[in-house]
Amino acid sequence: MIRLLQIEFIKLWNNRASKVLIIAYFTLLTFISLIAAIKFDLGPLKFHFAEMGIFDFPYIWHFNTYIAAFFKLFLAVVIVSMMANEYSNKTIKQNLIDGLSKWEFIYSKFLTVLVFSAISTLFIFVVSLILGLLYSSYNELGIIFSDLEFILAYFIKLVAFFSLCLFLGILVKRSAFALGFLILWSIVEQIIFGVLGWKITSWETATTIKSLFPLESMANLIDQPFSRLSVVQNIGDQLETDLKFDYAVHSYEILIALAWTAIFIYGSYALLKKRDL
Amino acid sequence: MQNILSVRNLTKKFGHLTAVKDLSFEIEKGNVYGILGPNGSGKSTTLGIVLNVVNKTTGEFSWFDGNTSTHNALKKVGAIIERPNFYPYMTAIQNLKLVCKIKEVSEIKIEEKLELVGLLERKNSAFRTYSLGMKQRLAIASALLNDPEILILDEPTNGLDPQGIHQIREIIKKIASQGTTILLASHLLDEVEKVCSHVVILRKGEKLYSGRVDSMNATHGFFELKTTQKEALVAYLKNHTSFAEIKEDKSLVTAFLKEEMSAEVLNRSLFEKGIFLSHLVKRKESLEEQFLSLTNNQSN
């Protein structure tokens, strides 16, 4: 396992573009803390994010993992190209000839995905913890360490998403096209949902089916956190609309995302096994 | 003798096209093998199959008497297929370190092998800055990192300039002289003739011949003769039971042997008949002539 990770590390770290993107990604993750510094001061309208309660425990776990998940696109580029480049440089062929088995090849990529996800999760945990300790109105241990399922959900979300990237990289073999395909797929999911709800079934059934789609299942892991904010809730109350919704991380959501991860990794292996290089 | 690779009834189909047809051969330790065949005869496909990058349709192959899995066996093999494939952004050293990790061998041999192929001075340049000849030499260094049981080379001199071809051949000869088993696929006959002891000849995916180079053709060679007494010579040869066919071309007479006869014996008997030669050469057919006759015979 260590050997496989070392192999991937040599491949990635010596590639300048990958190195820059990886560093940029982790720098951006750290920059989430800068949200704390955002202050609007428009005369009567004063706005300071840190004072709106977004850094309150345990809400911060939800908010930060939701925001941080957007940056995953940087790593997606790295992961898609680390797979697709093996095809365009034909190094995949040489790797196999040199004695890497096809499973080891896929497994080394998957291990890299796990490591990236784990480091990201650790990063976001530490950054959130520090921000929370600085700004949170509550600091009892019990509250600090509640709602940690968002951290778990974040990890699974990244693993599932990066596994999809791996799969697309090996399916399409070209990084630019694979990324295009990823965007296309996100639109297709919405179109299928639209058509289902509009013509075929009720909107409720369509929403249930939609939650089984790969990208949607990853998105569902961490729902948007904004309507949980007390400020927003207050506005809702004033407008007499109910903004309460189910934001919790459910175990079936985790299961769906894990199932897709397994499908993508096995699919990548099956593709590699079937193809002549 | 230890068996390195055995291929039994291997067949590969690409849709309707049969690239390799019921192919069987054995590779034994210590010999230098050539796989010969025109372009598209299935050489690279065969190598691709035994090297785990092409899936076979039917048939079997086994490395080292079938005691290990293919990918573990490949760690004891050094192979270069067609073009050298390395990570373009990495230096020679970095690329070779990666190969060491894959093959699970130590990195101490990197400098030694770079020295062998004459790339030590450029060891820290990125692979993409190399000329084709240098890339091919790096590929050879990479294939040798594990001191392989067998070195497999597929068209190693393809696309190189004469100097590059010469360098690669020198390296191959050096390696062969150290007793490494080599399997060399090529359509360049003189290349194979110069280094190989055994050949497998393929045409359209079918095996035409496999065995020693020198017993490839059952003939006993031929004499090239010149004399001023041409009529007398031709008459003598035609009456002689040892000769199969006599060809005349201007002043040159070519006599093909049916059975073994040394040049000395022929010279003495012609002398006794009062026929004096100005030119006497005994030759075997070159691999090229044998190859062409073999591939032509089969196509009729």
Name the average pLDDT for chain B.
87
User: Of A68, A102, A84, A64, nearest to A17 (Cα)?
Assistant: A84
Subunit contact A7:B88, Cβ cutoff 8 A? no
Is A136 touching B (CB cutoff 8 A)?
A: no
User: Of B183, B180, B90, B170, nearest to B130 (Cα)?
Assistant: B90
In a 10 Å sphere around its CB, with 0-12 CB exposed, 13-18 middle and 19+ buried, how is residue B226 labelled?
middle
Q: How many CB atoms are located within 10 Å of the residue B6 CB?
A: 18
Subunit contact B52:A97, Cβ cutoff 8 A? yes
Helix pair A149-172, A251-274: axis angle to 10 deg: 20
Residues 87-116 of A with CB under 8 A from B: 89-91, 93-102, 104
Subunit contact A14:B69, Cβ cutoff 8 A? no
Q: What are the extents of the domains in chain A?
A: 2-274
Residue with tokens 């982790």: A26
Q: Tens digits of per-residue pLDDT, A229-258?
A: 766 677 767 776 665 667 788 889 999 999
Query: Distance (Å) from the C-alpha of residue B169 to the closest C-alpha of chain A?
Result: 22
CA atoms within 13 A on the CB side of A97: 29
CA-nearest residue to A272 within chain B is B53
Complex-level ipTM: 0.85
Q: Tens digits of per-residue pLDDT, B68-118?
A: 889 999 999 999 887 889 999 999 999 999 999 999 999 999 999 999 888
Name the average pLDDT for chain A.
88
The Cα–Cα gap between B251 and B256 comes to 16
In this complex, the residue of B71, B75, B85 whose CB is nearest that of residue A94 is B85
Cis peptide before B148 (omega within 30 of 0): no
> Which residues in B have their CB inside 8 Å of a CB on A?
14, 48, 51-55, 69-75, 77, 79, 81, 83, 85-90, 94, 97-99, 101-104, 142
pLDDT level of residue B300 (50, 70, 90 thresholds): very low
State CA B79 to chain mean position distance: 15
- Asked whether the predicted pLDDT for residue B299 surpasses 60, the reply is no
Residues of chain A contacting residue B104, judged by C-beta atoms under 8 Å apart: 3, 99
Q: Which domains does chain B have, with CATH numbers?
A: 3-212 (3.40.50.300), 222-284 (3.30.70)
Q: Tens digits of per-residue pLDDT, B177-206?
A: 888 899 988 877 777 777 788 888 888 888
Subunit contact A99:B81, Cβ cutoff 8 A? no
The Cα–Cα gap between A250 and A256 comes to 10
- Would you give the end-to-end CA distance of chain B in angstroms? 37
Asked whether the beta carbons of A171 and A178 are under 8 A apart, the reply is yes
